[in-house]
Amino acid sequence: MDRHSEAFLEMIAAERGAARNTLLAYRRDLDDFAAFAATRGQGASQADAETLRLYMAGHAPAGLKARTAARRLSALRQFHRFLLREGVRADDPTSLLDSPTLPGTLPKYLTEQEVDALLTAAEQRPGRTGAVAMAVLEILYSSGMRVSELLALPRAALSGDAQLLLIKGKGGKERMVPLSDRARAAAMRLIEATDTQSRFLFPGRDPKAPLTRQSFFLLLKQVALAANLDPARVSPHLLRHSFASHMLAHGADLRSLQMLLGHADISTTQIYTHVMGERLRRLVEQHHPLARAI
């Protein structure tokens, strides 16, 4: 990897607070492009528009998914904008590239009855594991936060009668999310059942570190089994989707939901509008004069 690529990765780590997995994905994408550019006698930072066009055109024949191509194009666009801004290049050869057409997929989510089944199964688990399960489910479902945000919650965030949680999301951006009475009560029961002074609300085996994603995923799968749900289907992100879908179904507006989820662009939040169709149909049936006259 050349020095310009390394400088780009350092920039997104320092200025944007990119997560480790994001950095690894960017590095893989840049390495893949650099290998292709080398076959045409060019470096990654000096490649011309034709090299970029041929690189992107080769994704479909190679059997790669459109999402993979879109991710790589995004990485290359950000890389070349960085080169342009730093004066390494006088042009941006990615500006003429077309984005791959992505298939329209709807987010999967649990029904409200399935969420109730999960909560009931968690409540029936004995001891501290039951307290952990109840707290994570109540907080995730009532706030829609990401699993990384959940596991990083400090114990002090639940002190007193806090009605709001300060969440540090992607890129270090902070947002406030409301905490339901049920979620707060579940968190307090967990604190009472936890024999440690860890600064984390969900401490791991080592109290100095939070619960690992692997341990959390395993607990969630166990609760799903007890709730007679397919454990392969249940994930923290599914709960985030469920929170968003159920909020819209019960009348929340997109802008408020965007703030709660911590989306930088409202277009990301708009994927959840699929649940609004049924609600709009009911509104027409209830309030349109011709619908009532039938």
Asked if 146 contacts 159 with a C-beta cutoff of 8 angstroms, the reply is no
Q: Which of 72, 80, 241, 263 is catalytic?
A: 263
Top-ranked range on mean pLDDT: pick from 103-117, 161-175, 196-210: 196-210
Whether the predicted pLDDT of 237 surpasses 90:
no
Q: What is the pLDDT of residues 70-116, one digit of tens each?
A: 888 889 999 999 999 999 999 999 988 877 665 556 567 888 899 99
Question: Would you call 170 a catalytic residue per the annotation?
Answer: yes
Q: Which of 53, 168, 170, 189 is catalytic?
A: 170
Which is more confidently placed, 271 or 194? 194
Q: What's the pLDDT at 291?
A: 62
Question: Would you call 189 a catalytic residue per the annotation?
Answer: no
Asked if 176 contacts 165 with a C-beta cutoff of 8 angstroms, the reply is yes
Asked if 190 contacts 174 with a C-beta cutoff of 8 angstroms, the reply is no
Q: What's the pLDDT at 272?
A: 74
Q: What's the pLDDT at 278?
A: 59
Question: Would you call 287 a catalytic residue per the annotation?
Answer: no
Whether the predicted pLDDT of 193 surpasses 70:
yes
User: Which range among 201-205, 230-234, 244-248, 276-280 shows the weakest confidence by mean pLDDT?
Assistant: 276-280
Mean pLDDT of 121-135: 91
Mean pLDDT of 231-240: 88
Q: Which of 80, 240, 241, 246 is catalytic?
A: 240
Mean pLDDT of 33-55: 92
Question: Would you call 173 a catalytic residue per the annotation?
Answer: no
Q: What's the pLDDT at 102?
A: 53
Q: Which of 213, 233, 237, 282 is catalytic?
A: 237
| Structural domains of the chain in order of their starting residue, each with its CATH number | 3-96 (1.10.150.130), 112-235 (1.10.443.10)
CA dihedral 74, 78, 84, 89 (to 10 degrees): -60
Q: Which of 4, 72, 80, 146 is catalytic?
A: 146
Mean pLDDT of 153-163: 75
Mean pLDDT of the chain: 84
Q: How far apart are alpha carbons 144 and 259 in whole angstroms?
A: 11
Q: How far apart are alpha carbons 157 and 123 in whole angstroms?
A: 23
> Cβ-count burial of 235 within 10 angstroms (0-12 exposed, 13-18 middle, 19+ buried)?
middle
5: confidence class by pLDDT, cuts 50, 70, 90: very high
Q: What is the pLDDT of residues 168-188, one digit of tens each?
A: 777 777 888 888 888 888 988
Q: What's the pLDDT at 117?
A: 94
Question: Would you call 237 a catalytic residue per the annotation?
Answer: yes
CA within 13 Å, CB half, 85: 9
Question: Would you call 146 a catalytic residue per the annotation?
Answer: yes
Q: What is the pTM of this model?
A: 0.61
Q: Containing H/E element for 164?
A: strand 164-168
Closest CA to 272 of 290, 260, 287: 260
Determine what percent of the chain is predicted with pLDDT higher than 70: 89
> Cβ-count burial of 224 within 10 angstroms (0-12 exposed, 13-18 middle, 19+ buried)?
buried
12: confidence class by pLDDT, cuts 50, 70, 90: confident
Mean pLDDT of 204-214: 88
> Cα angle at 198 between 194 and 203, to 5 degrees?
65
